[in-house]
Amino acid sequence: MKITQLIGLILAGFVVASVHAAPPFHAQGELSGEVTASSVLLQSRLTATPGPTLDPEGDIPGAKGVACFEWSPTPDFAKAQRTAWLEASAEHDFIVRAHLKGLQPGTRYYYRLVFGPDKSTVQTGPTCEFKTLSAPDDLAPLAFCMGSCMNYHSFLHGKANGGGPVTASAEDKQLGYPVFAAMTKLKPDFFIGTGDIVYYDHPPQTAAHTLVELRRKWHEQFRFPRLIEFFSHTPAYWSKDDHDFRFNDADLGGKKLPEPATGIEIFREQMPIFAAGDRTTPTYRTHRVHKHLQLWFTEGRDYRSPNKQPDGPEKSIWGREQRNWLEQTLQASDATWKVIITPTPMVGPDRNSKVDNHTNLAGFKHEADSFFAWLREQKQDRVLTFCGDRHWQYHSIHPLGVEEFSVGALNDENAIRGEKPGGKGTTDPDGLIRQPYIYREPTGGFLHVTVHGDGRLVLTHHDDHGVVLNSVTKSITTR
């Protein structure tokens, strides 16, 4: 499809709006999040400009107005229902979010935004869709994509962030990251963003500190047509890491801005993981997405000990409450495969110059090793970890048997070569980790996962254009 055709399709919802030549518009499209078998969160943001380009100030300003979501199990919106009217206000960055409940399992729903300056002057946005999770005993195949480390500055300005190739074309810089076009072709049931969705601290000379600056990072990232198209059809689950929390390797200490409370609050505001206004529900959670698969989303920033605290039993990324929850819910689950979605690696190897993750020898390695030992003691032998944060793709196996799949960076410019077991200066200088796969050359890309009715789990690494780089099949008869 030509660039002009794609932009035309993506912006179809803005054509009617531009005829009125007055805000509000919805230049960032719609998002659906945290889908379950019976519920979903729908989100949009009312804006003062209609298109995906930035204003002269480098932002997409918001606009006051009202909105609701209309949804139906059929694309013609027969028997459609509507949410209550929602107010888009500056206090919440003009974001509107609704929580749909009482939905049917395994059902595709269609929805659209109804919005305007007031209830008497409204227009309707383009049709979007999501599919609810199937019932827990359903054996229909399910597929999803995972990605991490989406560096806007390196992509848009042609700056390699660690050694990856600079490949974004002029067309890409208009449409957005090529990886979203590749994932769109696969039609996944959902997407998982494992953190570093935006980079508050890039570039360093203009790092975001204030509320306006932090919000701008989200506005510019989600304005691209390829992202709008992908998320109009694909619900998502989100986790945060250091760059979309505060800054590189951030913990809860220090006076450097943004403050921890601000980073926590802005992530809840911008991403549809909780109902609007929920400031208390922990961001760690679990979802049974298939008879054979359950996912655990861990929180890696809100509860961590200081990075520079000496490692040992009292040092933790998760905190005691989250660790207890993780162990209890793993034991309670009868899923064939149990996957921990972790924003940072637990197996690695990584560079040992770092101290902020579970692989680092002076970081939080004790917690990871003790947890892996607990898994072995409890005979939890089908637990895998899928991690973000590391800018390279790999499949590694811990000496205690836990397998980890790193999703790598979403864009080429943010990819790096990576570390191998046995490397000097790594977290595994003795080569105790087995690594069946690490990509040959740095590339952006994603992990695609399919779970089948017979219990097979197929895990495939792709580059940012969808080319298969590695594939692993796990069956019930194997560990």
- Looking at domain 3-131, its CATH architecture is Sandwich (2.60)
CATH 3.40.50.720, applies to 142-474: no
* Residue 162, phi then psi, degrees to nearest 5: 120, 5
Which residue shows structure tokens 């979501």? 69
Q: What percentage of residues in the chain have a pLDDT greater than 70?
A: 95
pLDDT tier at 57, thresholds 50, 70, 90: confident
Cα–Cα distance for residue pair 232/90, rounded to 1 Å: 24
Whether residue 8 has pLDDT greater than 90? no
Please give the pLDDT value at position 479: 53
Q: Provide mean pLDDT across the span 332-338.
A: 97
Residue 379, C-beta contacts closer than 8 angstroms, at least 6 positions apart: none
Whether residue 16 has pLDDT greater than 70? no
Total-model pTM: 0.95
CA angle (106, 109, 112) in 5-degree steps? 160
Q: Which is nearest to 111 in space by CA: 289, 272, 3?
A: 272
Report whether 447 contacts 467 (CB < 8 A): no
What amino acid occupies position 17?
A: A
Whether residue 18 has pLDDT greater than 70? no
pLDDT tier at 58, thresholds 50, 70, 90: confident
* Residue intervals in the chain for CATH 3.60.21.70: 142-474
Whether residue 141 has pLDDT greater than 70? yes
Write out the two tokens for 241: 């890491």
Please give the pLDDT value at position 86: 98
Residue, of 390 and 479, whose pLDDT is higher: 390
CA dihedral 196, 199, 204, 208 (to 10 degrees): -130
Q: What is the overall mean pLDDT for the chain?
A: 94
Q: Provide mean pLDDT across the span 444-468.
A: 98
Please give the pLDDT value at position 5: 47
CA dihedral sign, ordered 301, 306, 312, 315: negative
Q: Provide mean pLDDT across the span 94-119.
A: 98
Please give the pLDDT value at position 67: 98
Whether residue 230 has pLDDT greater than 80? yes
When computed from its CA atoms, the radius of gyration of the chain, rounded to whole angstroms, is 22
CA dihedral 353, 355, 356, 357 (to 10 degrees): 80
Q: Provide mean pLDDT across the span 292-297.
A: 98
Q: Provide mean pLDDT across the span 223-232.
A: 98
Please give the pLDDT value at position 478: 61
Q: How long a stretch of residues is the chain?
A: 479
pLDDT tier at 55, thresholds 50, 70, 90: confident
Write out the two tokens for 322: 């989250």
CA dihedral sign, ordered 251, 252, 253, 255: positive
Cα–Cα distance for residue pair 268/262, rounded to 1 Å: 10
Q: Which helix (H) or strand (E) holds 337?
A: strand 337-342
Cα–Cα distance for residue pair 449/334, rounded to 1 Å: 20
pLDDT tier at 364, thresholds 50, 70, 90: very high
Half-sphere exposure of 455 (CA within 13 A, CB side): 11
Q: Provide mean pLDDT across the span 97-114.
A: 98
Q: Which of 52-66, 325-339, 421-435 has the least mean pLDDT? A: 52-66
Q: Provide mean pLDDT across the span 355-364.
A: 97
Sheet holding 434-438, edge to edge: 285-290, 293-297, 337-342, 383-387, 403-407, 393-397, 434-438
Report whether 349 contacts 433 (CB < 8 A): yes
Positions of E strands within 355-453: 383-387, 393-397, 403-407, 434-438, 445-451
DSSP state of 349: -
* Residue intervals in the chain for CATH 2.60.40.380: 3-131
pLDDT tier at 477, thresholds 50, 70, 90: confident
Whether residue 267 has pLDDT greater than 90? yes
